[in-house]
A and B are shown apart, each in its own frame.
Chain A
């Protein structure tokens, strides 16, 4: 592995570009390089690991127990890259992926404040998941953050929220994080579980598979640890952050009764959904997953998207967890090598055999978790009119409902013209799913019928200065000379 620290060290062209150095990207890059392809692995974080193994090579947390044994598995993925000649660019933001005119792709990159266009024949997007937006009244108050943000602070800098801390939401990660934070010394005064009790009914059918899954033991251990030690409250149906200028408490509704719990920090989490900004902006087809309740790129068995040459692997193409992410990255690279003619279809299938078995095993029981932790409708589409949905432009749920019904706005792209939601710097990352739910509810349609934002590059902002200084590509220079 060669670590690139300046933009001019990046070559003009790579056989394959892998975006994201989480488990998917690390495995995909390693496999592609082992198969003799020239690989660029670009990631905006300063060190490899992605979300789950964030800061694996640099974390100041040294007591292995705090982050759990699974965290340390990330080291092996990074180690596999060392002997290869993968070009690894940390701190490198990929802001655009677009097809060029000769069947390849042009990547827009920024590193160290300088931008660059790079050509590649194939792309594997391994950009992972993002937290599902969880808009409640008051969620924009200082002191309220997502559980994921708290976890990043813990892994990267060994920080825990100070003062009385409340964790609220739904999903396996909630228990994991509560456990990690408690182990790191946080003062957790309540864990508020919003999982709808009736989810058990629909999930039950998928229970047998789950009982044979690798999650079971892990999950039970997490649950037991969290429940045993922490003040747990289940059946939460409504939440609101209170305070002016800073969060001072959270109002909690359970069984029809509402009371306030005083706190200094409120961590929200409603599961994770695929991060689709780059794949959507690149033009890859996507659909609404009615089990995981999220927009998901449409991919085949090899994680190839609707655009030939772009694969989307790992959680970015559907939530499957860290273990499956690495396996899916592996499979995407095998297929990429097949497209290059490095492997015949038969060789590819043979090499994929054991990985597919491991993948099936790692995904067994997933459906149970998906069904059990489906967020309640009230948290997908906030009922309180004053709840801010689009944080960038401060657009409320009430405004969106009103515009949808009064002006007959039937899709999120039209909604932009009226309220500017989704047009701020986050480009809909935080409001997109909620806006779609609200429009769907207002018109009695499904999210599939409502559609999603058409996202635009740059998917991460670059400065005008960076763009103005963009060096012309070799192709552009040739075009002028010719």
Chain B
């Protein structure tokens, strides 16, 4: 007879769901993962693949650090290199004022004991990114950053979790979650499942699960856009981002160049569909035109958008529910959750298995939305 109960049920098969499922399985817990489409179909499979510690909000840095350690031994963890390359990420300052902001940021991180971001001058910037416009006076580098192939990475987590016994069910949609004695009863379009613990990793759909549980959150469904060019002669190794204008820019080993930065299209989440906004992509293209003259003749081969969850403060919801025993939330990554996937799964499994973690996650609790006055001054 098929087993419809487990120690943990994970709802959603993005990088977060798959990573949490893997880490729970590694701790000997039995796991069922339910995914309405296929693993990595949404944000986790179509994102820019940026593995970035650079320029993260302080509240996220501990999770990000934990994750980075795992990215650097990703092949040992999931038996696949996930296409991970480490050429650093550079934040380019476009003028002196911009550089001052960078300096203040790096100083602040140093005071807090974080040393992954390093200020660089114009000469070092030119050495790292020779093609950048002469007008840029410097920037910040995070040398251990890099990029990976999103869908491949997500599926590697899924495969490894399955190989350790996790029961991964794709094409199964969770329709409702209700309390059933000591268990949670997870109803789906293919029967129900029972478990004392559930993890809500449903990405842009996670607010519906949270609402079912009486913890409604102000989640916004967004559709960040990306475009990629045909292969160009190699001219840049690190990933480049900007602070004032939206840009994230990366050349792959095969010469193609990925252009993004968080311009939003339109998400139609009930149809798994997005519509591009070419006007905004044109602005994105103009930024590249300004900064990288070598790119002007590049043919754009594809553009797309992914459906992602964004919280009002641009920080994820991460940790135990504020209302219920046995409920854990892990969503709302606001367009920077891919890098966090490996570490967040490890920390979540630790919390589930042991009740606590040493990795500081204060500031990410769901209570900041459900009881705003208690947690926020």
Contact = CB atoms under 8 A, between A and B. Distances in A.
A230 to B, nearest CB: 40
Given A99-B275, A468-B282, A416 B302 contact: no
Contact of A458 (B149, B275, B303): B303
Given A98-B275, A456-B304, A461 B150 contact: no
Interface stretch (A136-144, A418-426, A429-437): A418-426
Contacts of A416: 151
Interface stretch (A24-32, A246-254, A323-331, A469-477): A469-477
Interface in A74-119: 96, 98-99, 101, 106, 108, 117
Given A101-B266, A470-B278, A417 B150 contact: yes
Contacts of A357: none
Interface stretch (A2-10, A56-64, A153-161, A406-414): A406-414
Contacts of B266: 101
A96 B38 CA distance: 27
B300 A464 contact: yes
B20 to A, nearest CB: 20
B11 interface: no
B289 A461 contact: no
Contacts of B176: none
Contact of A461 (B254, B286, B299): B299
Interface string A436-461: 00000000000000000000111001
Contacts of A473: 279
A476 B38 contact: no
B86 interface: no
Interface stretch (B190-198, B235-243, B290-298): B290-298
Interface in B102-139: none
A417 B155 CA distance: 9
B288 interface: yes
A420 B295 CA distance: 22
A283 interface: yes
A464 B288 contact: yes
A467 B285 contact: yes
Interface string B286-323: 10110000011111111110000000000000000000
A481 interface: no
Contact of B281 (A101, A423, A467): A467
By CB atoms of chain B within 10 A, which of A283, A423, A468 has the most?
A468
Nearest to B305: A456
A407 B286 CA distance: 40
Contacts of A465: 289, 296-297
By CB atoms of chain A within 10 A, which of B149, B229, B299 has the most?
B299
Nearest to A451: B38
A414 B38 contact: yes
Nearest to B273: A283
A476 B281 CA distance: 13
Interface residues of A, number: 38
B78 to A, nearest CB: 12
B178 interface: no
A463 interface: yes
A112 B151 CA distance: 37
Given A411-B38, A457-B303, A472-B279, A464 B152 contact: no
Contacts of A417: 40, 45, 149-152, 155
A458 to B, nearest CB: 6
Contacts of B38: 410-411, 414
A427 B256 CA distance: 14
Contacts of B286: 468
Nearest to B80: A407
A464 B283 CA distance: 11
A150 interface: no
Contacts of A463: 296-300
Contacts of B45: 417
Contacts of B289: 464-465, 468
Interface string B213-238: 00000000000000001100000000
Contacts of A101: 266
Contacts of B281: 467
A462 interface: yes
A313 B22 CA distance: 48
A414 to B, nearest CB: 6
Interface string B136-154: 0000000000000111100
A275 B279 CA distance: 27
Contacts of A418: 152
B66 interface: no
B159 interface: yes
B276 interface: yes
Contacts of A117: 278-279
Nearest to B297: A463
Contacts of A464: 229, 285, 288-289, 295-300
A98 B155 CA distance: 30
A468 B150 CA distance: 27
Nearest to A282: B275
Nearest to B232: A464
Nearest to B158: A408
A424 B301 contact: yes
A409 B273 CA distance: 22
A469 B7 CA distance: 56
Contacts of B285: 464, 467-468, 470
A110 to B, nearest CB: 11
Contacts of A427: 301-302
A410 B159 CA distance: 13
Nearest to A467: B285
A420 B253 CA distance: 13
Nearest to B296: A465
B288 A98 contact: no
A260 B192 CA distance: 62
A28 to B, nearest CB: 25
A205 to B, nearest CB: 37
Interface string B249-288: 0000010000000000010000001011011011001101
By CB atoms of chain B within 10 A, which of A418, A464, A472 has the most?
A464
Nearest to A473: B279
B300 A462 contact: yes
A425 B159 contact: no
A472 to B, nearest CB: 6
Interface of A: 96, 98-99, 101, 106, 108, 117, 283, 407-411, 413-414, 416-418, 420, 423-425, 427, 456-458, 461-465, 467-470, 472-473, 476
17 contacts: A108-B278, A117-B278, A414-B38, A414-B155, A427-B302, A456-B304, A457-B302, A458-B302, A461-B301, A463-B296, A464-B288, A465-B296, A467-B282, A468-B286, A470-B278, A470-B285, A472-B279
Given A409-B155, A463-B297, A470-B285, 20 more contacts: A99-B275, A414-B38, A414-B151, A417-B149, A425-B299, A427-B301, A456-B304, A457-B276, A457-B303, A462-B299, A463-B296, A464-B288, A464-B297, A464-B298, A467-B281, A467-B285, A468-B286, A468-B288, A468-B289, A473-B279
Kindly list the 4 A-B residue pairs having the minimum CB-CB distance in the complex, ordered from nearest.
A417-B151, A461-B299, A470-B282, A468-B285
